[in-house]
Amino acid sequence: PIGFARFSLQYDGSGWLEVLRVDPDHQKKGCGATIWKRFIELCGIYKVPFVRMYTGLTNYASRVLGERNGLKVSYQTREGTLMAGSNINGSYGNFRKVTSSDEAERVIAPHAGIYHGYFCQNRTFYGINRSVCEGLFKDVSIWTDDNGSCVITGARFLKDQGLHLGLMGGDLDACISLAKAVFSESGLPKLVCMIPSERDDYKAALEKAGFTFPDSQIIMLERAF
């Protein structure tokens, strides 16, 4: 093979595109465009409501291929990381795990707007809706307290390589403390958190807790069908 990529379906039937790679000797010869043609065919076959992908803000080649196929930049984010061995002392405080998918939807919904209506873990972006909340309830841990704060911890894949703080809202310091407590008990090497680029308050709270943010940013492209 001279190139490959992965197309998958999310909880709500949306398409997700990832790991498009072309051998360096065959780049700029149409292989990427051919793979994208197949992507769009699969979107039709599976009747997806949306298709999404992510790339680096400065990865113009990847962005252009997406835009040529009808995707548009819909979300810009920053990714912070806290490594094990750092200041990872935390507390569960008054948090408890939600006990149903209905409760998951109720506690996530008030904070969805902060994240432009998206949920992200492992650099995988989902539109927040009932089907996605049901899927997250089954696959990750969703936490809440009596004040309505919400935290989601888990991972989509590579679960032995890191824990992801996928969403938080409410008392940020309490949310981060909860995530650090879960991280500390997990024994995993890193805790990762993706936030909207414009949320300086979230970035400041995470940096105070020991997270570091590189200068690079990540964009999500989306097309509705």
* CB neighbour list of residue 133: distance below 8 Å, 6 or more residues apart: 101, 104, 105, 108
CB of 149 within 8 A of CB of 165?
no
What is the DSSP secondary-structure string of 165-177?
EEEEESSHHHHHH
Residue-wise pLDDT tens for the chain (225 aa)? Answer: 999 999 999 999 999 999 999 999 999 999 999 999 999 999 999 999 999 999 999 999 999 999 999 999 999 999 999 999 867 889 999 999 999 999 999 999 999 999 999 999 999 999 999 999 999 999 999 999 999 999 999 999 999 999 999 999 999 999 999 999 999 999 999 999 999 999 999 999 999 999 999 999 999 999 999
Which has the closest alpha carbon to 78: 215, 205, 222, 221?
Answer: 215
What is the model's pLDDT at position 25?
95
CB of 36 within 8 A of CB of 69?
yes
What is the model's pLDDT at position 40?
97
Q: How far is it, in rounded angstroms, from Cα 136 to Cα 196? A: 20
- At 70 the three-state DSSP class reads coil
- What does pTM read for this prediction? 0.95
Which has the closest alpha carbon to 130: 106, 147, 114?
Answer: 106
What is the model's pLDDT at position 212?
97
What is the model's pLDDT at position 89?
87
What is the model's pLDDT at position 85?
86
What is the model's pLDDT at position 191?
97
